[in-house]
Amino acid sequence: MSAPPAGRTPARAVHERRAPLASLLFGVLPLAALPGPAHAAQQLPTGRAAVEALSYDPLEFEAPKAERHDVSGVRVLLLEEHTLPLVTVFARFRGGYGLFDREYYAPAMGLPELLRYGGTSTLAPDSVDEALELHAIQTSFGSGGGSISSTLNMLTEHLDVAVELWEDMLLRPGFDERQIEVWRGRQLDNVARLRDDPARLAFSTFNRLLYGDHPVGWEMDAADLAPERVTSERFREVHRRIVCRDNLLLGVTGDLTWREAEPLLSRLVDSVPACAEPLPEPPMPAIRREPGVFLLERDLEQAVIVMAHPAAVRLEDHPDFFAATIANAILGAGGFSSRILGRVRTAEGYAYSASSVWTMPRRAEGILGAITRTSPGNTVPAIEAILETMSELRREAPTEVEVRTAVDRIVNGFVFNFDSPAQIVARTMFYLAQDLPEDWLERYWRGVQEVAASDIREAFARHLHPEEMTMLVVGDPDRIGRAALASLGPVTVLDPR
């Protein structure tokens, strides 16, 4: 056989080059690649059989851990990450609106925003903005009922100037009067708009029903925002009580070592004043325990339903917590695989969405219940369907498939808790602030995998009591049906104000 003309490739060579691609697409190997005589070649599994035949060695995943350090009595977490020339610093101060009397509610709520936008003792608000922009510094400030927090992110080369500016913002705020008034005006607008948002109105009203005059039940109103309650002096008083050394926890991640971070953080910590007095402990709520049906009359195309009762499970390393976590996923927090959504949406067609609520605070009681929105005529049937679903779970254990689905969702998503060093450090700081062990996430991961169907039925039997629900309906009583609503129990019509 003569050689092919120059510049042309033999047909056999073309076939051999393409063979690997064919094997990838169709799950077969070319005849020449199979062992033994060509005529004895055998075809490998294809399609589903090929997928099911795949096997892998178990994946070994070791969660990154932050280093623990101490700087003048302040706990500091460090997790190095040298991929990019960036550094993130976190500060968390114990203290928040939940630790103060109601007269300080507004300035405690507004403190984070005024730390960011209220200027410093030496820089006007717009000068702070210009400095942040000039050095490409990102900051965030936030709050919860028991703490305020701030995050600083910058290029490594701007670390010194960024921390110096951040220190000024945190420790020497200007509380500019014009910015306070801007914040106050925005809050007054939010108060006026509360009744235009049915869901927000329902949750606010329900919290007040269950928690009464407790921070969880508070909602900002015009009295909280009276000019004499929202002054720079009030902001400074709240700031002095919260932003002090005994309340501080720090975290650092990014392109620096502890040797580089320590002197910088030492200067920062030394600038934070000592706390003049300790903060009070958070008040324990007295949650409503009497069942009842409450109606907030509104001319709405959909009714909002919220129901719950107290539940004693707390956030802790205990089998009850892990069983309740999986139970909540099966009841209504697990999306389309949950019982409530399956009944209310899929089986009955009453609502587009429905879910359970099972809060598990660290030290206080939580609540257990459900929420949904539906057309007025389906309000009572939807409530009855939810209550029946709850009763079923009290009587019979969930299926093994339901348990495995709920557990797998947590286990399979475990690795996403470690997306970034910043996420790891921020989460660990939260655990420390809650007096949880640093390896809490790993304990949680193990704990949920040990939950059995019988544990879940027991959790429902002990903690879920459909007949004890406090129920709130926000909607049009004429379209809901007053008599139908009364079939659930005596109805209390709430003051519309």
In the chain, where are the structural domains located? 67-271, 292-493
DSSP code at position 5: P
Pairwise CA distance, residues 55 & 53, whole Å: 6
Please give the pLDDT value at position 61: 64
pLDDT surpasses 80 at 474: yes
Tokens representing 192 are 């006026």
Between CA 309 and CA 270 the distance in angstroms is: 47
Structural Rg of the chain based on CA atoms: 30
* CATH code of the domain occupying 292-493: 3.30.830.10
Comparing C-alpha atoms, which of 75, 65, 89, 57 is closest to residue 418? Answer: 65
Q: Would you give the distance in Å from CA 20 to the centre of its chain?
A: 47
pLDDT, tens digit, 9 for 90 and up, residues 182-230: 999 999 999 999 989 999 999 999 999 999 999 999 999 999 999 999 9
Instruction: Over range 38-55, report the average pLDDT.
Output: 72
- Name 304's bridge partners: 373, 474
Of the candidate ranges 54-63, 252-261, 418-427, 466-475, the one whose mean pLDDT is the lowest: 54-63
pLDDT digits (tens, 9 = 90+) for 247-279: 999 999 999 999 999 999 999 999 999 999 999
Distance CA 235, CA 257 (A): 36
Place of tokens 């500016």: 165
DSSP secondary structure of 434-495: TT--TTHHHHHHHHHHT--HHHHHHHHHHH--GGG-EEEEEE-HHHH-HHHHHTTS-EEEPP
Predicted confidence at residue 439, as pLDDT, reads 86
- What are the residues facing 70 on neighbouring strands? 75
Tens-digit pLDDT profile for residues 223-248: 999 999 999 999 999 999 999 999 99
Q: Which residues contact 457 (CB under 8 A, 6 or more apart)?
A: 393, 394, 396, 397, 398
Residue 248's H or E segment, with its range, is: strand 248-254
CATH number assigned to the domain with residue range 67-271, chosen from the 4 options 1.20.120.160, 3.30.830.10, 1.20.1340.10, 3.40.50.720: 3.30.830.10
- Do 67-271 and 292-493 come out as alike in CATH topology? yes
Task: State the DSSP string of 122-140.
Answer: SS-HHHHHHHHHHTT-EEE
Specify the pLDDT at position 83.
95
Residue 497: predicted pLDDT: 65
What's the token pair of residue 406? 């709920």
pLDDT at 43 over 80: no
Query: Rounded to an integer, what distance in angstroms lies between the CA atom of residue 438 and that of residue 427?
Result: 9
Buried b (16+ CB within 10 A) or exposed e, 16-52: eeebeeeeeeebbbeeeeeeeeeeeeeeeeeeeeeee
Task: Output the pLDDT for position 62.
Answer: 73
* CA 317, chain centre distance (Å): 19
Q: Which stretches of 266-422 are assigned E, i.e. beta strand?
A: 292-297, 303-311, 354-358, 366-374
- Rounded to 10 deg, the angle between the 440-449 and 400-412 helix axes is 160
pTM of the model: 0.84
Q: Which residues contact 362 (CB under 8 A, 6 or more apart)?
A: 314, 315, 316, 434, 435, 436
- Which residues are bridge partners to 371 per DSSP? 306, 355
| pLDDT value of residue 97 | 93
Q: What is the pLDDT of residues 160-184, one digit of tens each?
A: 999 999 999 999 999 999 999 999 9
Q: Is the pLDDT of residue 8 over 60?
A: no
| pLDDT higher than threshold 70 for residue 1 | no
So what's the pLDDT on residue 42? 62
What is the C-alpha end-to-end distance of the chain, expressed in Å? Answer: 99
In tens, the pLDDT along 428-471 reads 999 999 999 888 988 999 999 999 999 999 999 999 999 999 99
User: In whole angstroms, how far apart are CA 366 and each of 145, 201, 210, 266?
Assistant: 15, 21, 11, 39
Residue in the block written with tokens 């129990």: 489
Which of the pair, 47 or 356, is modelled with greater confidence? 356
Helix axes 159-171, 105-117, angle to 10 degrees: 150
Q: Answer with the residue of higher pLDDT: 311 or 442.
A: 311
Long-range contacts, stretch 415-423, CB < 8 angstroms, 24+ apart: 415/61, 417/63, 417/441, 418/63, 418/64, 420/81, 421/64, 421/79, 421/80, 421/81, 421/253, 421/254, 422/88, 422/90, 422/253, 422/254
Asked if residues 213 and 98 have their Cβ atoms less than 8 Å apart, the reply is no
Per-residue model confidence as pLDDT tens digits over 380-404: 999 999 999 999 999 999 999 999 9
* Coil vs helix vs strand at 284: coil
Residue indicated by tokens 């006026």: 192
Q: Residue 485 pLDDT > 60, yes or no?
A: yes
Average pLDDT over every residue of 319-334:
97
Average pLDDT, stretch 316-341? Answer: 96
C-beta atoms surrounding 281 within 10 Å? 9
CB-CB contact of 237 with 104 (8 Å): yes
Question: E strands within 46-172?
Answer: 67-71, 74-80, 86-94, 138-143, 147-155
The pair of structure tokens assigned to 124 is 């006007």
Rounded to whole angstroms, the Cα distance separating 162 from 77 reads 19
Binning pLDDT at 50, 70 and 90, where does residue 31 land?
Answer: very low
> Which of the four pLDDT bands, split at 50, 70 and 90, describes residue 44?
confident
pLDDT band at 41 (very low <50, low <70, confident <90, very high): low
Mean pLDDT of 139-167: 96
The rounded mean pLDDT for the chain is: 90
Q: What's residue 9's pLDDT?
A: 40
CA–CA separation, 174 and 45 (whole Å): 72
> Would the pLDDT of 36 be above 60?
no
Q: Are 145 and 216 in contact (CB under 8 A)?
A: yes
- Evaluate if residue 11 carries a pLDDT over 60: no
Confidence of residue 16 (pLDDT cuts 50, 70, 90): very low
